[in-house]
Structure 1
Amino acid sequence: MPNRIPEAAIHAIIEAGRRMAERNWVPATAGNISVRLPGDRVAITRSGFHKAHLSADAVMAVDLHGAPEDPALRPSAETGLHCGIYRAFPDTRAVVHGHSIANTVLSRRAGDTIRLEGYELLKVLPGLDTHAAAVALPVLDNDQDIPRLQAAVEARWARMAAPALPAYLIRGHGIYVWGPDMDAALARLEGLEFMLACKMAAISLGGSDP
Protein backbone atom coordinates (compact mmCIF):
# COMPACT_ATOMS: atom_id res chain seq x y z
CA MET A 1 0.00 0.00 0.00
CA PRO A 2 1.39 3.48 -0.90
CA ASN A 3 2.73 5.58 1.95
CA ARG A 4 0.60 8.49 3.05
CA ILE A 5 1.42 11.95 1.70
CA PRO A 6 1.79 14.52 4.51
CA GLU A 7 -1.08 16.99 4.75
CA ALA A 8 1.36 19.92 4.74
CA ALA A 9 2.70 18.88 1.33
CA ILE A 10 -0.80 18.49 -0.11
CA HIS A 11 -1.82 21.88 1.26
CA ALA A 12 1.29 23.55 -0.20
CA ILE A 13 0.57 22.12 -3.65
CA ILE A 14 -3.13 23.07 -3.55
CA GLU A 15 -2.35 26.65 -2.49
CA ALA A 16 0.39 26.99 -5.10
CA GLY A 17 -2.06 25.84 -7.78
CA ARG A 18 -4.60 28.41 -6.65
CA ARG A 19 -2.05 31.25 -6.66
CA MET A 20 -0.73 30.31 -10.09
CA ALA A 21 -4.23 29.99 -11.54
CA GLU A 22 -5.21 33.43 -10.21
CA ARG A 23 -2.41 34.90 -12.33
CA ASN A 24 -3.36 32.88 -15.43
CA TRP A 25 -0.08 30.98 -15.39
CA VAL A 26 -1.71 27.52 -15.57
CA PRO A 27 -4.61 27.72 -18.08
CA ALA A 28 -6.81 24.68 -18.70
CA THR A 29 -4.97 21.69 -17.15
CA ALA A 30 -1.49 23.09 -17.89
CA GLY A 31 1.36 23.19 -15.38
CA ASN A 32 2.48 20.94 -12.58
CA ILE A 33 3.61 21.39 -8.98
CA SER A 34 5.63 19.19 -6.64
CA VAL A 35 7.09 18.98 -3.15
CA ARG A 36 10.00 16.82 -2.04
CA LEU A 37 9.15 14.43 0.80
CA PRO A 38 11.41 12.56 3.23
CA GLY A 39 12.76 9.24 2.06
CA ASP A 40 13.45 10.29 -1.55
CA ARG A 41 9.75 10.65 -2.32
CA VAL A 42 8.04 13.38 -4.33
CA ALA A 43 4.43 14.57 -4.04
CA ILE A 44 3.26 15.84 -7.44
CA THR A 45 0.08 16.83 -9.21
CA ARG A 46 -1.64 14.13 -11.21
CA SER A 47 -2.23 14.53 -14.94
CA GLY A 48 -5.40 16.21 -16.14
CA PHE A 49 -6.35 18.36 -13.13
CA HIS A 50 -7.01 22.11 -13.33
CA LYS A 51 -4.67 23.79 -10.87
CA ALA A 52 -7.36 26.21 -9.65
CA HIS A 53 -9.43 23.32 -8.31
CA LEU A 54 -6.94 20.89 -6.79
CA SER A 55 -7.86 18.56 -3.96
CA ALA A 56 -6.00 15.83 -2.11
CA ASP A 57 -7.11 13.40 -4.82
CA ALA A 58 -5.13 15.42 -7.38
CA VAL A 59 -1.80 14.76 -5.63
CA MET A 60 0.15 11.50 -5.82
CA ALA A 61 3.61 10.26 -4.82
CA VAL A 62 6.50 9.06 -6.97
CA ASP A 63 10.11 8.14 -6.30
CA LEU A 64 13.06 10.27 -7.42
CA HIS A 65 12.96 8.59 -10.83
CA GLY A 66 9.26 9.25 -11.36
CA ALA A 67 7.89 5.78 -10.64
CA PRO A 68 4.39 6.04 -9.06
CA GLU A 69 3.89 4.51 -5.65
CA ASP A 70 0.36 3.63 -6.76
CA PRO A 71 0.55 2.21 -10.30
CA ALA A 72 -3.15 2.95 -10.81
CA LEU A 73 -2.46 6.71 -10.77
CA ARG A 74 -0.96 8.70 -13.65
CA PRO A 75 1.46 11.52 -12.76
CA SER A 76 2.09 14.56 -14.91
CA ALA A 77 3.79 13.74 -18.19
CA GLU A 78 6.69 15.98 -17.09
CA THR A 79 7.29 14.32 -13.73
CA GLY A 80 10.76 13.34 -14.95
CA LEU A 81 11.76 17.01 -15.15
CA HIS A 82 10.73 17.59 -11.53
CA CYS A 83 12.66 14.52 -10.43
CA GLY A 84 15.70 15.65 -12.40
CA ILE A 85 15.74 18.93 -10.46
CA TYR A 86 15.46 17.12 -7.12
CA ARG A 87 18.27 14.73 -8.03
CA ALA A 88 20.57 17.53 -9.20
CA PHE A 89 19.84 19.95 -6.35
CA PRO A 90 19.29 18.04 -3.08
CA ASP A 91 18.39 21.21 -1.15
CA THR A 92 15.37 21.78 -3.40
CA ARG A 93 12.06 21.14 -1.68
CA ALA A 94 9.54 22.51 -4.21
CA VAL A 95 9.23 22.84 -7.99
CA VAL A 96 6.60 24.80 -9.91
CA HIS A 97 5.92 24.79 -13.64
CA GLY A 98 3.69 27.34 -15.37
CA HIS A 99 2.62 28.44 -18.84
CA SER A 100 2.21 32.22 -18.85
CA ILE A 101 1.69 34.29 -21.99
CA ALA A 102 4.97 36.15 -21.41
CA ASN A 103 7.17 33.11 -20.92
CA THR A 104 5.55 31.32 -23.86
CA VAL A 105 5.85 34.22 -26.31
CA LEU A 106 9.35 35.33 -25.31
CA SER A 107 10.79 31.81 -25.30
CA ARG A 108 9.48 31.26 -28.84
CA ARG A 109 11.48 34.22 -30.15
CA ALA A 110 14.57 33.80 -27.94
CA GLY A 111 17.90 32.19 -28.58
CA ASP A 112 19.53 29.96 -25.96
CA THR A 113 18.84 32.46 -23.16
CA ILE A 114 16.72 35.43 -22.18
CA ARG A 115 18.73 38.19 -20.52
CA LEU A 116 17.15 39.95 -17.54
CA GLU A 117 19.09 43.01 -16.41
CA GLY A 118 18.56 46.01 -14.15
CA TYR A 119 15.27 44.89 -12.63
CA GLU A 120 14.65 45.39 -8.90
CA LEU A 121 13.07 41.94 -8.72
CA LEU A 122 16.33 40.26 -9.62
CA LYS A 123 16.83 40.31 -5.85
CA VAL A 124 14.35 37.44 -5.56
CA LEU A 125 17.02 35.15 -7.02
CA PRO A 126 19.69 33.62 -4.78
CA GLY A 127 22.99 35.48 -4.54
CA LEU A 128 21.66 38.78 -5.90
CA ASP A 129 21.26 41.76 -3.56
CA THR A 130 21.06 44.61 -6.08
CA HIS A 131 19.17 45.56 -9.21
CA ALA A 132 22.52 46.26 -10.84
CA ALA A 133 22.88 42.70 -12.03
CA ALA A 134 22.00 40.49 -14.98
CA VAL A 135 21.03 36.85 -15.40
CA ALA A 136 20.75 34.65 -18.47
CA LEU A 137 17.59 32.55 -18.16
CA PRO A 138 18.21 29.30 -20.07
CA VAL A 139 15.87 28.39 -22.93
CA LEU A 140 15.74 24.80 -24.15
CA ASP A 141 13.94 23.44 -27.19
CA ASN A 142 10.72 21.59 -26.44
CA ASP A 143 10.72 17.82 -26.74
CA GLN A 144 7.93 15.32 -26.06
CA ASP A 145 10.57 12.74 -25.13
CA ILE A 146 11.00 13.67 -21.46
CA PRO A 147 14.15 11.60 -20.75
CA ARG A 148 15.82 13.20 -23.78
CA LEU A 149 14.69 16.66 -22.68
CA GLN A 150 15.99 16.03 -19.16
CA ALA A 151 19.35 14.98 -20.65
CA ALA A 152 19.44 18.30 -22.53
CA VAL A 153 18.67 20.17 -19.30
CA GLU A 154 21.49 18.38 -17.49
CA ALA A 155 23.90 19.15 -20.33
CA ARG A 156 22.97 22.84 -20.03
CA TRP A 157 23.50 22.78 -16.27
CA ALA A 158 26.95 21.27 -16.82
CA ARG A 159 27.91 24.28 -18.97
CA MET A 160 26.58 26.90 -16.53
CA ALA A 161 28.63 28.62 -13.86
CA ALA A 162 27.80 27.39 -10.38
CA PRO A 163 25.44 27.87 -8.73
CA ALA A 164 22.94 27.31 -11.51
CA LEU A 165 20.04 29.72 -11.86
CA PRO A 166 17.03 27.98 -10.21
CA ALA A 167 14.88 28.24 -13.33
CA TYR A 168 14.75 27.44 -17.02
CA LEU A 169 12.35 27.87 -19.94
CA ILE A 170 11.15 25.31 -22.45
CA ARG A 171 10.65 27.03 -25.78
CA GLY A 172 7.01 27.84 -26.50
CA HIS A 173 5.98 25.74 -23.52
CA GLY A 174 6.63 27.15 -20.07
CA ILE A 175 8.94 27.78 -17.14
CA TYR A 176 10.36 25.58 -14.38
CA VAL A 177 11.34 27.25 -11.10
CA TRP A 178 12.48 25.70 -7.83
CA GLY A 179 13.45 26.63 -4.30
CA PRO A 180 14.22 25.43 -0.76
CA ASP A 181 10.49 25.54 0.04
CA MET A 182 7.24 26.35 -1.74
CA ASP A 183 7.21 30.00 -0.63
CA ALA A 184 10.66 30.55 -2.14
CA ALA A 185 9.78 28.72 -5.36
CA LEU A 186 6.63 30.82 -5.80
CA ALA A 187 8.43 34.07 -5.00
CA ARG A 188 11.07 33.28 -7.61
CA LEU A 189 8.36 32.38 -10.13
CA GLU A 190 6.46 35.62 -9.47
CA GLY A 191 9.63 37.69 -9.78
CA LEU A 192 10.65 36.05 -13.03
CA GLU A 193 7.15 36.32 -14.49
CA PHE A 194 7.06 40.04 -13.63
CA MET A 195 10.38 40.64 -15.36
CA LEU A 196 9.36 38.61 -18.41
CA ALA A 197 6.09 40.55 -18.63
CA CYS A 198 8.04 43.82 -18.46
CA LYS A 199 10.34 42.64 -21.20
CA MET A 200 7.42 41.68 -23.44
CA ALA A 201 5.66 45.01 -22.78
CA ALA A 202 8.81 46.94 -23.73
CA ILE A 203 9.09 44.99 -26.98
CA SER A 204 5.39 45.56 -27.78
CA LEU A 205 5.91 49.32 -27.35
CA GLY A 206 8.63 49.22 -29.94
CA GLY A 207 11.46 49.82 -27.53
CA SER A 208 14.33 47.80 -26.21
CA ASP A 209 14.26 45.90 -22.96
CA PRO A 210 14.68 48.42 -20.09
Structure 2
Amino acid sequence: MDNMGFADPWAGAVQDIVAAGRRMDRFGWVPATAGNISRRLADGRIAITRSGGHKGHLTPDGVIEVAPDGRAVHAGDRPSAETLLHCQVYAFAPDVGAVLHGHSVASTVLSMAADGDAIVLSGYEVLKVFEGQDTHDATVRLPVFDNDQDIARLSRAVAPHLGRMPAGYVIRGHGVYVWGGSMDIALARLEGLEFLLACELERRKIGR
Protein backbone atom coordinates (compact mmCIF):
# COMPACT_ATOMS: atom_id res chain seq x y z
CA MET A 1 0.00 0.00 0.00
CA ASP A 2 1.05 3.69 0.15
CA ASN A 3 1.22 4.01 -3.61
CA MET A 4 3.65 6.93 -3.67
CA GLY A 5 5.26 5.57 -6.84
CA PHE A 6 2.16 6.18 -8.97
CA ALA A 7 2.77 8.53 -11.89
CA ASP A 8 -0.48 10.21 -10.84
CA PRO A 9 -0.33 10.89 -7.08
CA TRP A 10 -4.11 11.22 -6.88
CA ALA A 11 -4.58 7.76 -8.39
CA GLY A 12 -2.14 6.37 -5.83
CA ALA A 13 -4.06 7.94 -2.95
CA VAL A 14 -7.35 6.59 -4.30
CA GLN A 15 -5.93 3.08 -4.59
CA ASP A 16 -4.65 3.28 -1.00
CA ILE A 17 -8.12 4.22 0.22
CA VAL A 18 -9.85 1.52 -1.83
CA ALA A 19 -7.45 -1.13 -0.50
CA ALA A 20 -7.84 0.11 3.08
CA GLY A 21 -11.62 -0.08 2.77
CA ARG A 22 -11.46 -3.70 1.67
CA ARG A 23 -9.09 -4.56 4.50
CA MET A 24 -11.27 -2.90 7.11
CA ASP A 25 -14.37 -4.57 5.70
CA ARG A 26 -12.69 -7.97 5.89
CA PHE A 27 -12.41 -7.56 9.66
CA GLY A 28 -15.97 -6.25 10.07
CA TRP A 29 -14.91 -2.74 11.09
CA VAL A 30 -17.00 -0.82 8.54
CA PRO A 31 -20.51 -2.36 8.48
CA ALA A 32 -23.14 -1.04 6.07
CA THR A 33 -22.06 2.49 5.08
CA ALA A 34 -20.20 3.17 8.35
CA GLY A 35 -16.69 4.55 8.64
CA ASN A 36 -14.54 6.82 6.55
CA ILE A 37 -10.98 6.78 5.20
CA SER A 38 -8.73 9.60 4.06
CA ARG A 39 -5.22 10.20 2.81
CA ARG A 40 -3.30 13.45 2.42
CA LEU A 41 -1.17 13.89 -0.67
CA ALA A 42 2.29 15.45 -0.65
CA ASP A 43 0.88 18.59 -2.27
CA GLY A 44 -1.64 19.01 0.57
CA ARG A 45 -4.74 17.72 -1.22
CA ILE A 46 -6.99 15.49 0.89
CA ALA A 47 -8.67 12.42 -0.59
CA ILE A 48 -11.56 10.99 1.43
CA THR A 49 -14.41 8.53 1.00
CA ARG A 50 -17.66 9.88 -0.33
CA SER A 51 -20.64 9.88 2.05
CA GLY A 52 -22.96 6.88 1.95
CA GLY A 53 -20.78 4.28 0.26
CA HIS A 54 -19.86 0.82 1.54
CA LYS A 55 -16.14 0.87 2.28
CA GLY A 56 -15.66 -2.76 1.33
CA HIS A 57 -16.94 -2.12 -2.19
CA LEU A 58 -15.22 1.16 -2.98
CA THR A 59 -14.41 2.20 -6.53
CA PRO A 60 -12.34 5.25 -7.52
CA ASP A 61 -15.62 7.18 -7.87
CA GLY A 62 -16.18 6.65 -4.14
CA VAL A 63 -13.24 8.90 -3.27
CA ILE A 64 -13.50 12.69 -3.47
CA GLU A 65 -11.25 15.68 -2.81
CA VAL A 66 -11.88 18.06 0.08
CA ALA A 67 -10.25 21.31 1.11
CA PRO A 68 -8.43 21.65 4.45
CA ASP A 69 -11.69 22.90 6.00
CA GLY A 70 -13.56 19.77 4.88
CA ARG A 71 -15.58 21.28 2.06
CA ALA A 72 -15.83 19.39 -1.22
CA VAL A 73 -13.56 20.80 -3.92
CA HIS A 74 -15.80 19.72 -6.81
CA ALA A 75 -19.46 20.65 -7.13
CA GLY A 76 -21.85 17.78 -6.48
CA ASP A 77 -19.46 15.79 -4.28
CA ARG A 78 -20.80 14.99 -0.81
CA PRO A 79 -18.21 14.32 1.91
CA SER A 80 -19.09 12.55 5.14
CA ALA A 81 -20.34 14.75 7.94
CA GLU A 82 -17.32 13.61 9.94
CA THR A 83 -14.79 14.87 7.40
CA LEU A 84 -14.04 17.75 9.76
CA LEU A 85 -12.53 15.28 12.26
CA HIS A 86 -10.08 14.07 9.61
CA CYS A 87 -9.17 17.62 8.65
CA GLN A 88 -8.65 18.49 12.29
CA VAL A 89 -5.95 15.84 12.62
CA TYR A 90 -4.24 16.93 9.40
CA ALA A 91 -4.23 20.57 10.52
CA PHE A 92 -2.74 19.68 13.89
CA ALA A 93 -0.06 17.27 12.66
CA PRO A 94 1.62 18.06 9.32
CA ASP A 95 3.35 14.67 9.33
CA VAL A 96 0.07 12.69 9.32
CA GLY A 97 -0.66 11.11 5.96
CA ALA A 98 -3.77 9.01 6.63
CA VAL A 99 -6.76 8.95 9.00
CA LEU A 100 -9.06 5.96 9.52
CA HIS A 101 -12.45 5.73 11.21
CA GLY A 102 -14.11 2.39 11.90
CA HIS A 103 -17.14 1.01 13.76
CA SER A 104 -16.20 -2.31 15.32
CA VAL A 105 -18.31 -4.23 17.82
CA ALA A 106 -15.57 -4.00 20.47
CA SER A 107 -15.08 -0.23 20.19
CA THR A 108 -18.83 0.37 20.23
CA VAL A 109 -19.59 -1.85 23.23
CA LEU A 110 -16.58 -0.91 25.35
CA SER A 111 -17.05 2.82 24.80
CA MET A 112 -20.69 2.56 25.89
CA ALA A 113 -19.70 0.53 28.95
CA ALA A 114 -16.89 2.91 29.96
CA ASP A 115 -17.73 4.81 33.14
CA GLY A 116 -15.16 7.55 32.63
CA ASP A 117 -13.55 9.46 29.81
CA ALA A 118 -11.09 6.75 28.70
CA ILE A 119 -10.55 3.05 28.12
CA VAL A 120 -7.29 1.99 29.78
CA LEU A 121 -5.11 -0.58 28.00
CA SER A 122 -2.30 -2.13 30.06
CA GLY A 123 0.22 -4.96 29.82
CA TYR A 124 -0.34 -5.99 26.21
CA GLU A 125 2.57 -6.71 23.87
CA VAL A 126 0.68 -5.10 20.99
CA LEU A 127 0.82 -1.73 22.76
CA LYS A 128 4.20 -1.39 21.04
CA VAL A 129 2.42 -0.64 17.76
CA PHE A 130 1.68 2.85 19.07
CA GLU A 131 4.20 5.66 18.81
CA GLY A 132 6.28 6.14 21.95
CA GLN A 133 5.67 2.64 23.35
CA ASP A 134 8.58 0.20 23.44
CA THR A 135 7.46 -2.33 26.04
CA HIS A 136 4.42 -4.37 26.97
CA ASP A 137 4.81 -3.02 30.51
CA ALA A 138 2.94 0.17 29.71
CA THR A 139 -0.46 1.78 30.04
CA VAL A 140 -2.15 3.70 27.25
CA ARG A 141 -5.33 5.71 27.70
CA LEU A 142 -7.78 5.68 24.81
CA PRO A 143 -9.89 8.82 25.27
CA VAL A 144 -13.66 8.41 24.98
CA PHE A 145 -15.68 11.37 23.74
CA ASP A 146 -19.46 11.51 23.93
CA ASN A 147 -21.15 11.15 20.56
CA ASP A 148 -22.50 14.37 19.10
CA GLN A 149 -24.24 14.98 15.77
CA ASP A 150 -22.80 18.51 15.86
CA ILE A 151 -19.38 17.62 14.44
CA ALA A 152 -17.95 21.10 14.93
CA ARG A 153 -18.78 20.89 18.62
CA LEU A 154 -17.35 17.36 18.81
CA SER A 155 -14.13 18.54 17.18
CA ARG A 156 -13.83 21.25 19.82
CA ALA A 157 -14.08 18.59 22.53
CA VAL A 158 -11.34 16.56 20.84
CA ALA A 159 -9.00 19.50 20.14
CA PRO A 160 -7.39 19.89 23.61
CA HIS A 161 -6.30 16.24 23.56
CA LEU A 162 -4.58 16.18 20.18
CA GLY A 163 -0.90 15.37 20.58
CA ARG A 164 -1.61 13.21 23.64
CA MET A 165 -3.48 10.32 22.01
CA PRO A 166 -0.94 7.75 20.71
CA ALA A 167 -3.69 5.16 20.16
CA GLY A 168 -6.20 7.61 18.70
CA TYR A 169 -9.61 8.02 20.32
CA VAL A 170 -13.10 6.57 20.37
CA ILE A 171 -16.51 8.24 20.11
CA ARG A 172 -18.91 6.67 22.59
CA GLY A 173 -21.25 4.15 20.98
CA HIS A 174 -19.78 5.02 17.61
CA GLY A 175 -16.22 4.03 16.73
CA VAL A 176 -12.50 4.75 16.68
CA TYR A 177 -10.27 7.28 14.97
CA VAL A 178 -6.62 6.48 14.32
CA TRP A 179 -3.95 8.04 12.12
CA GLY A 180 -0.37 7.71 11.00
CA GLY A 181 2.34 9.12 8.80
CA SER A 182 1.29 6.78 6.01
CA MET A 183 -1.64 4.54 5.19
CA ASP A 184 0.36 1.47 6.19
CA ILE A 185 1.17 2.94 9.61
CA ALA A 186 -2.43 4.05 10.17
CA LEU A 187 -3.71 0.57 9.28
CA ALA A 188 -1.18 -1.08 11.60
CA ARG A 189 -2.32 1.14 14.45
CA LEU A 190 -5.97 0.46 13.69
CA GLU A 191 -5.38 -3.30 13.66
CA GLY A 192 -3.40 -3.07 16.88
CA LEU A 193 -6.08 -1.01 18.59
CA GLU A 194 -8.91 -3.25 17.43
CA PHE A 195 -7.01 -6.32 18.64
CA LEU A 196 -6.56 -4.72 22.07
CA LEU A 197 -10.21 -3.69 22.29
CA ALA A 198 -11.29 -7.21 21.30
CA CYS A 199 -9.04 -8.59 24.06
CA GLU A 200 -10.57 -6.21 26.60
CA LEU A 201 -14.05 -7.26 25.57
CA GLU A 202 -13.17 -10.95 25.91
CA ARG A 203 -11.60 -10.38 29.33
CA ARG A 204 -14.82 -8.78 30.54
CA LYS A 205 -16.80 -11.74 29.28
CA ILE A 206 -14.75 -14.10 31.44
CA GLY A 207 -14.64 -11.69 34.37
CA ARG A 208 -10.89 -10.96 34.27
User: Normalising by the residue count of structure 1, what TM-score does the alignment of the two structures yield?
Assistant: 0.92
Match for residue 23 of structure 1 among 27, 49, 56: 27
Query: Does the aligned pair in 1 maintain the 2:99–2:180 contact within 8 Å?
Result: yes
Query: Does the aligned pair in 2 maintain the 1:102–1:197 contact within 8 Å?
Result: yes
Q: Partners of 1:84 and 1:132 in 2: how far apart?
A: 31
Q: CA deviation at 1:97?
A: 0.3
The percentage of aligned residue pairs carrying the same residue is 56
Q: Partners of 1:176 and 1:163 in 2: how far apart?
A: 14
Aligned to 1:141: 146
Aligned to 1:38: 42
Q: Match for 2:188: what amino acid?
A: A
Aligned to 2:186: 185
Q: Does 1:172 align with 2:161?
A: no
Distance 1:5 1:144, change over 3 A: farther
Q: Match for 1:96: what amino acid?
A: L
Query: Does the aligned pair in 2 maintain the 1:117–1:132 contact within 8 Å?
Result: yes
Q: Partners of 1:93 and 1:170 in 2: how far apart?
A: 21
Query: Does the aligned pair in 2 maintain the 1:10–1:56 contact within 8 Å?
Result: yes
Gaps of 5+ in 2: 1-7
Q: Partners of 1:144 and 1:90 in 2: how far apart?
A: 27
Aligned to 2:85: 81
Query: Does the aligned pair in 2 maintain the 1:166–1:179 contact within 8 Å?
Result: no
Q: Partners of 2:170 and 2:199 in 1: how far apart?
A: 17
3-state SS in 2 of match to 1:6: helix
User: Normalising by the residue count of structure 2, what TM-score does the alignment of the two structures yield?
Assistant: 0.93
3-state SS in 2 of match to 1:76: coil
Q: Partners of 2:164 and 2:171 in 1: how far apart?
A: 20
Query: Does the aligned pair in 1 maintain the 2:111–2:171 contact within 8 Å?
Result: yes
Q: Match for 2:39: what amino acid?
A: V
Q: CA deviation at 1:127?
A: 1.2
